[in-house]
Structures are given as C-alpha cells and as structure tokens.
Amino acid sequence: MALDLTKQNFVQETEKGVVLVDFWASWCGPCRMLAPVVEQIAQEHSEWKVCKVNVDEQPDLAQQFGVMSIPTVVCLREGKESARSVGLVSKDQLLAKLQLV
C-alpha cells in the first residue's frame, strides 16, 4: 500500500533507495484512474517504496517538485529525482518512463 507523504515526513521517507511519488488530487479523474496502477506497482515491487502526495493538502511539496499537471509520478533515487511521468499512462509505460524496466 502506498504511503501518504507530508511536508513533515517527506525527507525521512524518500532519502534512501528507490521511491515512487504519485502527486494526485481527489477531484482529478486521471489521478483516480492511475491510482490502481500505482497500488499494483506497490504490491508487486516491495523493493521500491511507493508514496502519494495529495497536492491540495501538500501544495508546498507540489511546488518544490514543479508539479504543474496531475497525475505526476516522480522517481527518486537516494532522495534525488531521476525521472518523472506526467499524465495517465499504462503500468508498462509508467515503469518505462520512470526508467524502472
């Protein structure tokens, strides 16, 4: 299951390993359609940490990452952004855009 990130726990939860961060909002249709894909990745790949950031509740984090459109999924490696995917895509496309396959 994906972990909810806040400004308070962001650095602690994302500084080590490979972390996928899904920037989303409850009112966003494409975000709701991507959510099961993100959850499936979380279940299938325990070697990665999968997290979610609600942009309405955490606007500072969205701004920090320059998120202009949602859904946006960012791949962090050791706390540094290595890739990102913007928009609704399939699981295979998402993993390819995030350079995880």
- List, by residue number, the catalytic residues: 28, 31
| CB neighbour list of residue 33: distance below 8 Å, 6 or more residues apart | 88
Place of tokens 């399939």: 90
What is the total residue count of the chain?
101
Coil, strand, or helix at residue 18? strand
Q: Which two tokens stand for residue 40?
A: 């499936």
> Residue 79, CB half-sphere, CA atoms under 13 Å: how many?
7
End-to-end CA distance of the chain: 21
